Structure 1
Amino acid sequence: PATRNQLKALFWSDMERPQASANLRNALYIIRNTIPEYVDIDRNSISLKETFDDISALEQIIDPDVPLPRHITEEPLRDFSLEGSEEFDEWTAVTKQAIRKNIVTMLRKRISNCYEKKMYEEMSNSLETLLTIDPYDEDSVLELMEIYCNMGQPTKALIFFKEYSSKIENKMGITPSERSKKYFRKILNNWSEYDTSSENREKFWCRKNELAAMIGALTDPGGLNTAVYVHGEAGIGKTALINKAVSILDKGDFLILSSRSSPIGEGYPYSSWNSIMTRIGRMPEIENDFPDINTRSVLSGIFPGFLGGKGLNYNADVALMTERNPIVISGMINDILRRIASKKRIIMIFEDIHWFDTQSIQLLTAFMSTVDLDINIILSGRPESSRITLAMLQSLDPPSKWKIVPLKLAPLRNDEIIDICRNSLSEELLNQKGDEYFIRESEGIPLLLFEMLRAAEENPDSDLTNGLGGLIMARIGDLSELQQNVLAIISVFAVGASPEQITEAASRGYDEVLSAGETLLSKGLLKEREEDGKVIWDFTHAKVRECIYESISLSKRQELHKKVAEVLNNAYSPQKWDPELSTMLCHHYMRSGQRAMELKQYLRELIFDITLNHDLFPVVSDKVLLSCSTPFSSREGTEQRISQALALLDEIRTDKNVGRMELKSLEASCFELAGGYHISWGEYDKGLVFINEAISISKEFGLSETHIHCLKHICYMHLQTEDPVRLISTARELIQLSRPENHRHYMATAVRFVGVSMFLSGKYDQAERTFRHSIRLFESLK
């Protein structure tokens, strides 16, 4: 019970005694009328009767068989306050602390009972609940880590300790005790003793020390971001190690962002980051709160997969004003990742850094130098790039942000090779070949060793001494012609292909190709992955692809490159911005000896680039305009493409496979596009040099359409310089060229130029009639 004087002092301490007494009487009157059966009020005190509170009801949780209430971790007496009463606030604070202390005591009793009953899973749940209420209790942290380890989840213990370390450092400015750090190291040292089988029960052979080192680095509670650089020869096991570490760490609360690079062709700028930005753009956290127009405009103009086909406005003015350099781009990526990092832990994987384009390397360096998030990075590369990559990582500014962990993978030891062979081959075959045979022939390279084992399993009498290429050739020797052709086609695609694409390139039935592919998958020659909802077949390793590709004769290679180019060209549209597809097309045209087609691909893109970004008066239908996803292009970018096209034209001039008529047609097209671009920007002298040469070629070889485009550019020049005499003269020439039926669609433009000339000459009535005639001609084209 509480006395009346206590209640008056608690609630109305700032009032005179008569006023406080009146307020108390009024409050007691309301209480008595509202819950008369639960209160006992007399002249001196007030008390509750026949009631219980929810805190008392929690006493039963000491029994592990009783489920923990969902609200147990919520703040007690939440929103229970009295404005203007310091005494009440003080009482609330003391009571809250007492309730928390009481709940913690009950949870400790529950944990003890769990231990006695060996209910370890419930014990871990109870400890997790306890640490939600009292997150800085180091004894409970160590106890929970021990439970995780006993339950076979040492990685979870390591990750939990890293989170705890970050929490106390950020909130309290202290580091874990030496006792807890010692326990962390103990778990890490014993980590490799735990089972490392994959979820699909595939054995992860050897590399347990390297795996433990990687896991330890990525869960290190030192307070720094970690960058692990795995390097070694091709086939040494870099990807397998990274995939295993990620599968162990990723328990659903991680966001894994992986880059993808192509071993062939010239990657477009920042191409290695596109897969990462595509994944980021599809995250729910981003889809529900998309970045500002500035970020959208810049990033969507660099990474084709970022918007993912979303119908979002593209602000060319913003893109023009914002300089697109690695520092600016990395800052935008950092801002986006900050939204995700509040809900998920982030690991970024940059494999095969030796294949990165220059801009992707620069962006990676800028990102690691400026990122202000809790993030870990895994990189991999071959020996030829390791020295440069390590120098780049070690020179990051500021270096205090990152802990750099180089991890060089050496060849397998002799005892490891023997262990793998004894677990993979029959004792009879192993005795027949001898341990030294596999040690000598594999050279400790896992890829070569496992190919030897597969070949021996398929044919015990096979010769395993011819290296990886010989092994692959021996394994595919017994395959059907279609199966071998499927492998050859995929090796030419180089980045994997869907069954539909392979079917088209092979000119065979889909079911036949599907059956052949299933056999190749079962033999371990291919693997499959899902990409944008499609199944993609690819080789198990880039070295396997190289062996298959190099075994194809040059003539067949050219023919396959030609077929693959046809398949990719069927999927290409200049209206859809897809620099990866365009790059691949150019690569296959070049490899198939179709340099003219390669230049035509450049010109197709240039036409849309210049028309949409640089033409002053582009004549484009709404339907075509709305179907375009081409981003804003700066003058620098367009001029670079023009230079590339002209350089390729120079190479084609010496190509004996290109006829004179085709060469002249390409020359005229290149000069017309370059000249029209320079005229659009007011560089008339430079533009006319190209245009006059294009007109000369067009007249000589009857290229009337190119001639028409050249005259249109000259008309625009006279329009910009307000020269009506020359404008009407050129426009009339344009009308003459537009008279044939197949060129009638140019007539409306020519008549419009005549109208503009009359307007500039002050002949307004004639100009109006001419413009109206031009309008009718345009309308007739619909």
Structure 2
Amino acid sequence: MNCIYVKLFDNSSTTFNEEIISFPYNKVQALFYYLVVNKTTTRDELCSLLWSDMEENSAKKNLRNALYKLKECFMKEDILYLANNSTISLNSNIKIETDVDKFIDNKFEIDAYTGEFLKGYSVKNADNFERWIYNTREYLKGIYLKRLNERIKLEISKKNYGQIEKYCKLIIKNDEFNEEAYKNLMICYKDQGKYVSAIKVYDDISDILNKELSITPDIEIEKVFREVLNDINKRHNTDKTNSFFYGRGKEIKLIESTYKDFVENKESKSILIQGEMGIGKTRLKDKFIQSISKEDIYISEVNCYQFEDEYSLKPWKKCIIDLVNIAKEDNAEFPILLQSILSKFIPEIDEESFENFKLETAINLLKQDVFTDSIGDILKRIGNNKKILIVFEDIQWMDSVSITLLSSLICNLNKDNIIFLLTCRNEFNSNIDKLLISTSKYNKIEKIELNRFSNQDVKSFINKAIPNNNISTEMINKIYLETEGNTFFLTEYLSIINSPKGINIMTSKMQDVLKSRFVDMSNNEKKIVEIVSLFDDVAPISIISQLTQIDEFEIIDIIEDLEKKCILEETSKGSKVYLKFTHRKLREFIHRGLSQIRKNILHNKVGKIIEKSINNDSENINLYFKLIYHYKNANNNIDCLKYKVKSLNVTLNFIHERFPRIYHNDEFYNKLYYDENITTKKLDEIEQELIELKAVEGDSYNTQELEIYILHIKGRYLIRKGQYFEGLKCIEDMIDMSMEINLNDYIIEGYKQMICYCIQTNNTKEMIKYVNYGFKFIEDYKINSEKVAFLRFKALYKIMVGEYETGENLMMECIESLRKNKKILNQYILYIAACYNDIGNIKMNLQNFEEALEYYKKSIEICEEKNIWISISLFQTNAGVAAYYLGDHNMARYYLKKALNIYKKIAYNSGESIAQSYMSLISFKEEKFKESLKYLKSADTKSNVLKNPKEIGTVLLVKSKIKDNMESNNKIADVFKDYLNEDLEQYVNKGLKYLKESKEEYKFSS
């Protein structure tokens, strides 16, 4: 059955079998909409609606033409049913659905109402149709609002605050003068303790009613507002009573000293406590006020609220009312003239009906000295009885007129028994700056800056807040990391530390406070902070510019505004400038608030930008980690796994390649290391992720490429640890798959890993096969970067088969080739060290031990110069062996000890058992037999892991030398008898067999 869907709420549209219908002109569309809503009508009614300004015949002619055009819109489908010459309806055989029908037919439906009926739709010269739209619109809107009110009543009974907030906001969106909705929303916020949000709602309705209707909110809203203020004061007082105070000793002493001067009629100053949100300004102020005597001083405390900076002099009105009422209780009298002047600024001074005092009026009055003089006069008169302490909290939200007045009074009334105690956030505010400039000029203010607590302070804070706790050092460090020493966040975390979810949540109180930091942002400011929140450390300004597509100069202005608000701050690394949030919780709040689709898109875009900065000739693991983070948050599983594999490869390449290419400085590589457990865990993780990815993506090019990467890492790892069967299977599969998708780099890598296996097992026959494969592939595909690696493999092969002269010449050719190419020299520096080592091995096999030692020293010097530890252990081992055969056992021990210290960090590394074998021999010669046995046992175990003939043969060599001395020395026999229980001949024969393979049988006669 054909289906027509008509959307009439908000922006209208029509589809026929899911294809959008375009109407030839407006009145055809209007006729159709009218039929869709009313189902049946008459020709006369349609003529009256759409052509009332025409004569009857002309109107009917236009109607006939419109009906014909309507049929054409639906491919001449017979969508109309003409019962007779006068009645018109839609064909019931065609399925017609509308959002209006869905809304009307279900008395509980509200989601279908997505906006007003036919929003923005209009038809020229059709007043009756326009009237019909308006009436229908109001009718449907009335139903919608009624249903929302019913939902609100239901959710109020359930205390389902999230739904109450949602429905109240929907009513306000559709009826901005609906005071009942504002009231319910205020109550909703009040009941949740979200007082800042409740005050904002009150300010919104007050502003709308004042600007549009010049009236104030009704008495019920005023009542709720006063309840909110009372709750704030109650919570404030409770916090004062219940919370403890930590630190700030220096600041307390300074406030007390300043106040003491004031009480003793000495020259004194007002006090400004400044610091970031939640740093403890209020708590410090409360601590001070609790400590002073209230008998001889009037105290007025006034909170300035966000969003109230448009209400001129509101803080002062509250202050004056407080002080006047207190003074009247002490029977203070005020001249009639003064009362008259004040009543002009504060109507009905004994009441609080002063909300509509206009900003323009205040500015004009402030220009007249009478205003300042009047306020000053009343403060002087009240101060005649007692000294006055006026406290203004959060003056960053005080209106400009009030700050100007405050500045004037601080400068002029300091000797008149009045002192001000102010708190203020440390964000930039031009009005606060002017206040500080004017008051500092006359030395009238003491500014106290509160800083965050240090890690040690946080530990002490926790121990004082929770005595005898068993909180671990790790948890304390985590709390410090999350709070960054901010008192508010620290207190909140301590309140939830024992909750089942631990500290990995953001409390509603945190969210409420953080929300207040961002509510007055412009759209462009919001874009910037959202983009900065994508980065878990710092955000490059270059990426911000690319993502926002905002003019660079405008971006600079926006960033400076956000820095003034202490939301963002700049940091630099070298010549590059970055942005970050002033507190990690600001970032966390913004990032949590992003919709998932926005996170996906933005994180993915950031990832693609970062990818472009990767140099193909380097392996930047830090960028890889950033890409993993962004692609994970973008739910881009393919690219996320790709860079997980790449980052793992960088680390394991350094550990598992004997002579890896060097892309970074020595500090970078000194931090690179995974032990056996971590390596296994990481490999298991990426293999499992690949399985899950293939279940979704199938065998796509991307998943095949990832599988090749993983096979390479796993195969190399297994070969290094001597699990040759599984390792070779991985590498062979990798080569086959790489050939299928023409991944040439990994075909070459596969050949290299097969050659490494052959080197470890002394399999020269297979080795030359893969060396030749490599040379042919390099030639066919012009992969010049790999030539030097295969040249060294060829040289090594020649050495292994005893062609020493050819091998040495090829090694020197490698060295010369690398030294000529300055561009890649540093990357391949370990290849040069390896070549010197291999030449040293030639000299050893020729029994030129001194010459061999010199070549080993060259290899060691290269590693020491570059501070690279991964290869030096092999060179030190060989140097130690050469020194041993030179008869210098002290030098031998020196090199072998250094090598073994490095080997402790590396699992399954060739050469370790040789170092232990010769340490066993040296200890044996020094008659440290138990130490010798310990080294020998370890060497025996290690040599059987990699199954390298040279290593196995070396262990058997040591066993034979010790066994040969057992019969003539009982001490030796007592230590070694249980371990060396075979005949001497067996040790010699087996040892010679293995050492012949590596051309080192001479050692049995040395």
User: TM-score, normalised to structure 2's length?
Assistant: 0.33
Between structure 1 and structure 2, the one with the greater Rg is: 2
Structure with larger RCO (C-alpha < 8 A, sep 6+): 1
TM-score by length of 1: 0.41
